[in-house]
Amino acid sequence: MKIRKSLMTLLGVFALTHLAPVDAHAAAQRGASKKASVAKESPARATKLAKAAKVVAVRPTKPIKFARAESRRVKASHLAHAAPAAQRSAPVAAPDMDNEGNPLLHSAAFMIADQATGSVLLEKNSDAVLPIASITKLMTAMVVLDARLSLTEVLLVANEDVDTLRNSSSHVPVGTELAREDMLRLALMSSENRAASALGRNYPGGLPAFVAAMNRKAAALGLRDTRFADSTGLNSANVSSARDLVRMVSAASRYPLIREFSTTANYPVSLNGRVRQFNNTNALVSSPDWQIGVSKTGFINESGKCLVMQAWLLNKPMIIVLLDSFGRFTRVADAQRVKRWLESAAVQQKVAAAVRTPST
């Protein structure tokens, strides 16, 4: 029996090494039957073989995927080189610029002007007559200073100064006594309505006389679209246009105290024996990137968010008026867009001047 098995083994080896290759189809059938028999004998081994077959089946797909990706990259590269030069070099507008290179501002009405020359650099709806809210306080300050009233005189915040129109809050309680100078500072810096009301109420002749003086001042400055009804801006009847406000900001910039108080970042005030710090409503006055000469913010529902500034840009005094901005940060973001736009224009001008200037 052992001799028979040995002879069969030798014959099998001889057939594998010396006989011609068998038909591929027959070999496949024999391989399949062998796998089936192995699976019957050992389920664990069958599972192992199946896993190995799966791995082998997956491996060849990797080079194919890589080749297709390479093909796409080569095709894209080819198309890029094949595209006309004009198409490849076409300028793409920045996200905050229009096709003409002007900033896309989100304020409903605005004007940006060169204060030195009076030339208007950018405008939209600049003649629209709109409520101006606390921008009013710039005129309040000018009328107070024009009257040459004592800045050291102590004024009392009374019940008449409480906002009953909009029920707005205040950090200045009734009964507070402050010098007129501090009232002026709080009105301009922190837009304190009670301080602005006290300033108007303590004018010779009272608040009606003060409002009349505000409107006379507006007429003297040539502000044809501007009218005032109170000293705070809480009344929506206080209206103006962006064009008029450029003139009003320019006039306010001639008052040293308005420049100082409207751009003070913060200021501590003693209120009834307790020190409280007041902050500027315009965060840009604290930014090292800005050199601001005059600043005033404003907001009531009818006006939206407003911001006016005199700022030094391109080494020039520029006036920025932004009215009816929707959203908490829109007016500041618009001011930043204006700044980037002006600085970008300056860079282009410098490059153009360098090209025109012959080398020596």
* Cβ neighbours of residue 291 closer than 8 Å, sequence gap 6 or more: 311, 312
Active-site pick, 190, 191, 250, 325: 191
Active-site pick, 107, 126, 134, 295: 134
Question: Quick check: helix, strand or coil at residue 317?
Answer: strand
Establish whether 191 is a catalytic residue.
yes
> What is the Cα–Cα distance from 116 to 319, expressed in whole angstroms?
10
Beta bridge pairs of residue 112:
122, 320
Kindly give the interhelix angle for 136-146 and 180-189, rounded to the nearest 10 degrees.
Answer: 160
How many residues appear in the chain?
360
> What is the Cα–Cα distance from 309 to 136, expressed in whole angstroms?
13
Indicate the pairing of strand 304-313 with strand 316-325.
antiparallel
Active-site pick, 107, 126, 137, 241: 137
296 assigned ligand-binding residue? yes
Establish whether 270 is a catalytic residue.
no
Give which of 41, 38, 62 is closest to 50, Cα–Cα: 38
Beta bridge pairs of residue 287:
none
For the chain, the 3-state helix, strand and coil shares in percent, each to the nearest 5, are 50, 20, 30
Give which of 326, 247, 291, 259 is closest to 334, Cα–Cα: 326
Establish whether 6 is a catalytic residue.
no
Three-state secondary structure of 59-100: CCHHHHHHHHHHHHHHHHHHHHHHCCHHHHCCCCCCCCECCC
For residue 323, give the H/E element and its range: strand 316-325
Which residues line the annotated binding site?
296
Tell me which residues are annotated as active site. 134, 137, 191
Which residues line the annotated binding site for substrate?
296
